[in-house]
């Protein structure tokens, strides 16, 4: 897609912001401006196969997400005064003035970053509701295979049971069997993040867990990162999630892009050696946090798991 970059009346460059709906259903994209001048419309309807082209200022900072199953009246507000959308609702109005309710897949942008650079990412920190890709428009410094991240959750069983927005009915004993791959999940299967669901310092990297050395991937972020390697999965996941380009290109945010999730940044940072990756996955499972597992085995049980993981690492390294 080739789009000419227009100039504002004051001579400053504006940046194209295109939003495309390749889903089979109508969605209502939402946009929130956190800095600079945002687009003319911060919420609108997109039918399948359509797109909307707008512009933002070259110093714009903001978020884009998709809202699903929305119903509005002729005034552009919800019918009953509450939420108008099943996921991503932003105060029950078509034109968003607040960020979307979780769970949502987010596209995040800082167009005027340090050293005249633009920073952007796909974030699952607030959960996942729709597949998403970010495609640069007329980039000058980044080839498409290095700067167009995509997050497509193709496996229906990736979201932990306790974080599903619409979990299937549990068996009579209230416990899902293991393995649970044969249990039918809904076709539309939004997933909350552990932070969004439980709001604890441990999962949100706040309070006593604030800082990269104090906050590590949890059971949700591990699953999310496996499904979408180039997406933010928790607060300190920036090394394999933040894309950087020279200031100037526009962006096309595509919902339901098809294909598979990209591994652009993940592949470039995965040269640490096969020994750590082969045994590390089991140790990560033993170390990661899960409220259900904690309740079942307690601290001592988790310590046993961690010890077993360490032994296996020594055995197979």
Q: How confident is the model over 90-136, as pLDDT tens digits?
A: 999 999 988 999 999 999 999 998 898 999 999 999 999 999 999 99
- Residue 296: which of 305, 308, 284 has the closest Cα? 305
At residue 187, the pLDDT reads 73
Per the model's pLDDT, the better-predicted residue between 86 and 97 turns out to be 86
The reply to whether omega before 103 is within 30° of 0 (cis) is yes
Point out which residues pair with 7 in neighbouring strands: 13
pLDDT > 90? residue 289: no
Structure tokens at 123: 């974030």
Who's near 8: CB < 8 A, 6+ residues apart? 14, 57
Provide the pLDDT for residue 268. Answer: 72
Residue 315 has pLDDT above 60, yes or no: no
Q: What is the pLDDT of residue 270?
A: 58
Confidence label for 269 from pLDDT (cuts 50, 70 and 90)? low
pLDDT digits (tens, 9 = 90+) for 225-241: 999 999 999 999 988 99
Distance (Å, whole) CA 63 – CA 228: 19
Residue 59, pLDDT score: 95
Tell me the β-bridge partners of 56: 15
The reported pLDDT for the residue numbered 180 is 66
Question: Is the pTM of the predicted complex or chain greater than 0.95?
Answer: no
Closest of 19, 29, 199 to residue 99, by C-alpha: 29
Q: Which helix (H) or strand (E) is 285 found in, with range? A: helix 274-287
Mean pLDDT of 64-88: 94
Residue 64, pLDDT score: 98
Over 50: is that where the pLDDT of 220 sits? Answer: yes
For the chain, first and last CA: distance in Å? 48
Answer whether 118's CB lies under 8 Å from 250's CB. Answer: no
Q: Whole-angstrom Cα distance, residue 142 to residue 244?
A: 9
Tokens 């962006």: give the residue.
Answer: 251
């Amino acid at each position: 897609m080739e789009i000419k970059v227009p100039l504002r009346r004051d001579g400053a460059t504006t940046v194209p912001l295109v939003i495309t709906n390749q889903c089979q259903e109508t969605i209502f994209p939402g946009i929130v401006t956190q800095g600079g001048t945002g687009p003319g419309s911060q919420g609108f309807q997109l039918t399948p196969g359509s797109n909307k082209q707008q512009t933002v200022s070259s110093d714009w900072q903001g978020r884009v997400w998709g809202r699903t199953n929305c119903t509005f009246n002729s005034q552009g507000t919800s019918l009953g005064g509450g939420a108008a959308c099943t996921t991503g609702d932003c105060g029950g109005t078509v034109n968003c003035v607040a960020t979307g309710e979780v769970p949502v897949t987010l596209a995040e942008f800082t167009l005027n970053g340090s050293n005249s650079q633009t920073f952007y990412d796909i974030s699952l920190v607030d959960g996942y509701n729709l597949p998403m890709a970010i495609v640069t428009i007329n980039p000058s410094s980044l080839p498409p295979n290095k700067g167009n991240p995509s997050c497509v959750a193709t496996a229906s069983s990736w979201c932990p049971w306790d974080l599903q927005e619409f979990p299937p009915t549990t068996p009579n004993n209230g416990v899902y069997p293991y393995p649970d791959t044969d249990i039918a999940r809904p076709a539309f299967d939004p997933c909350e993040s552990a932070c969004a669901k439980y709001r604890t310092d441990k999962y949100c990297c706040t309070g006593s867990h604030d800082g990269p050395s104090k906050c590590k991937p949890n059971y949700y972020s591990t699953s999310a990162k496996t499904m979408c390697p180039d997406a933010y999965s928790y607060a300190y996941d920036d090394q394999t999630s933040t894309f950087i380009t020279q200031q100037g290109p526009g962006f096309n945010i595509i919902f339901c892009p098809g294909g598979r999730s990209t591994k652009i940044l993940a592949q470039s940072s995965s040269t640490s050696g096969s020994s750590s990756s082969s045994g590390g996955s089991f140790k990560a499972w033993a170390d990661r946090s899960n409220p259900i597992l904690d309740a079942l085995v307690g601290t001592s049980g988790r310590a046993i798991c961690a010890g077993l993981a360490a032994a296996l690492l020594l055995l197979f390294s």
